[in-house]
Amino acid sequence: MTATPPLFEIDDLQVSVADKQIVNGLTLSLRPGEVHAIMGPNGSGKSTLANSLMGHPRYTVTGGDVHLQGESVVEMSPDERARAGLFLAFQYPTDIPGVSMINFLRRAISARRGEEIPVREFRQVLNEVLGRLQMDEQFVRRYVNDGFSGGEKKRAEILQLGLLQPLVAVMDETDSGLDIDALRIVSEGINTFHSDDNAILLITHYQRILRYVQPDHVHVLIGGRIVESGDASLAERLERDGYEPFMERTTEGVLSS
């Protein structure tokens, strides 16, 4: 049987920030329907990877390539990447006082489609996603993230995910700052979005979100490169033993657990 071609490919990616190399030759392939988790300690390059994939101007790609459905995105602007089907959930979502969630979301969907979405259709789509996520309509009447709790900000990210329906969702430490109830709600939202047609790259410190969002593959990131890959049991090893056993592997290639 022919293997399903990758939906998203990171090929020998190298990224620097202010002339300091942070990501050092990272290679990874995500196929439709897969959930990949990247785990690593502080300073390992997780957020640099996430932001560089979305085209943040602070991060400079100095080598390698990134392909979405076979097309390189490295030269694309962030908005072009978003329209192509790439999504980034931020670790620290930004407050936008004065801009209502409902207007923000309608503009975002219209930009993703490349044309204005009619008000009636937008309402229908919005209500459907709110229902699936068990969220009250009053939530979208508020200003974007203004006065939101940490959990509400992350739920707003999941709402955007559900509405935009990207091909690949990069979740940058979506579990940070969440209590147990908020973590469960956000995880349920991720699972609601996930399908056989898309892929998720879940970046995290801890195993706890992986108890709700089951990964197909887990990768250990140390020193800006993947030093070991395995199935969900690798996350359990990290929970038990920590990152110390992997700290000496920064010059090695990918290992299978």
d(CA 154, CA 183): 9
Looking at the structure of the chain, the number of domains it has is 1
pLDDT value at position 245? 87
pLDDT value at position 2? 60
pLDDT value at position 181? 86
pLDDT value at position 132? 84
pLDDT value at position 236? 92
Closest CA to 189 of 139, 142, 256: 139
Q: Domain residues for 41? A: 8-246
CA 8, 208, 163, 154 torsion-angle sign: negative
What CATH number does the domain containing 24 carry? Answer: 3.40.50.300
Q: Which whole-number Å values give the CA distances from 148 to 53, 114, 151, 163, 193, in the listed order?
A: 27, 30, 8, 20, 22
Angle CA(81)–CA(8)–CA(214) in degrees, nearest 5?
115
Q: Which whole-number Å values give the CA distances from 69 to 73, 198, 237, in the listed order?
A: 10, 11, 33
pLDDT value at position 250? 55
pLDDT value at position 77? 96
pLDDT value at position 92? 85
Q: Which residues are within 8 A (CB) of 80 and not within 5 positions of it... i.e. 6 or more apart?
A: 55, 73
122 falls within a domain: yes
236 falls within a domain: yes
Look up residue 7 and give its DSSP letter.
S
Identify how many contiguous H helices and E strands the chain contains and give both numbers.
7, 12
Q: Tell me phi and psi for residue 28, to 5 degrees.
A: -160, 140
**Mean pLDDT per segment of 10 residues, for the chain of length 257 residues?**
84 94 96 96 92 95 97 96 95 91 94 92 93 87 91 91 95 88 90 95 91 95 94 93 80 42
Closest CA to 34 of 228, 198, 232, 167: 198
Q: Which residues are within 8 A (CB) of 78 and not within 5 positions of it... i.e. 6 or more apart?
A: 54, 55, 56
Q: Which residues are within 8 A (CB) of 11 and not within 5 positions of it... i.e. 6 or more apart?
A: 27, 64, 65, 66, 67
254 falls within a domain: no
251 falls within a domain: no
Q: Judge whether 143 and 101 are in contact, CB under 8 Å.
A: yes
36 falls within a domain: yes
Q: Which whole-number Å values give the CA distances from 93 to 64, 147, 171, 229, in the listed order?
A: 28, 12, 12, 29
94 falls within a domain: yes
92 falls within a domain: yes
pLDDT value at position 160? 94
85 falls within a domain: yes
Say what the pTM is: 0.91
C-alpha 75, offset from chain centre? 20
